[in-house]
């Protein structure tokens, strides 16, 4: 799999937006494979990469991947929706209260 960063944009939020072109041989790579390759290319931790979308080009072995690379894990969990975190294999921790814990027993 060949990964090429097309554009890189630093916004006011603590993250970078990357548009990446990915060339592959067989099937479209999974989000986990893309996260690993993009983290290596962007010199970031794999846990701080969020794959927003994968757009395949019909009939070719390339895809455009829109990603966010966060500065910290706390910033990522504060900004991203839980659904997006789950799609990327990251679980958002919710604080457990003592009442909820006592009610379940």
Q: What is the pLDDT of residues 34-71, one digit of tens each?
A: 999 999 998 999 989 999 999 998 888 999 999 999 99
- Those residues with Cβ within 8 angstroms of residue 104's Cβ, 6 or more apart along the chain or in another chain: none
Contact 51, 64 (CB under 8 A): no
The pTM (predicted TM-score) of the whole model is 0.75
**CA nearest to 24, candidates 54, 66, 68, 47:** 54
Domain 2-91 has CATH 2.40.50.100: no
Domain boundaries, the chain: 2-91
Instruction: Categorize the per-residue pLDDT at 102 as very low, low, confident or very high, splitting at 50, 70 and 90.
Output: low
Measure CA 96 to chain center: 26
Residue 94 has pLDDT above 80, yes or no: no
Q: What is the pLDDT of residues 11-21, one digit of tens each?
A: 788 999 999 99
| Mean of the per-residue pLDDT values of the chain | 85
């Amino acid at each position: 799999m060949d990964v090429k960063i097309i554009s890189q944009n630093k916004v006011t939020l603590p993250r970078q937006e990357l548009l990446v072109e990915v060339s592959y041989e067989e099937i479209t790579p999974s989000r986990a494979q893309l996260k690993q390759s993009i983290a290596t290319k962007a010199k970031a931790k794999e846990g701080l990469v969020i794959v927003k979308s994968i757009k395949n080009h019909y009939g070719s072995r390339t895809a455009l991947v829109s990603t966010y690379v966060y500065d910290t894990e706390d910033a990522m969990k504060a900004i991203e929706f839980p659904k997006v975190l789950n799609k990327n294999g990251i679980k958002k921790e919710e604080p457990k209260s003592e009442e909820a814990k006592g009610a379940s027993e």
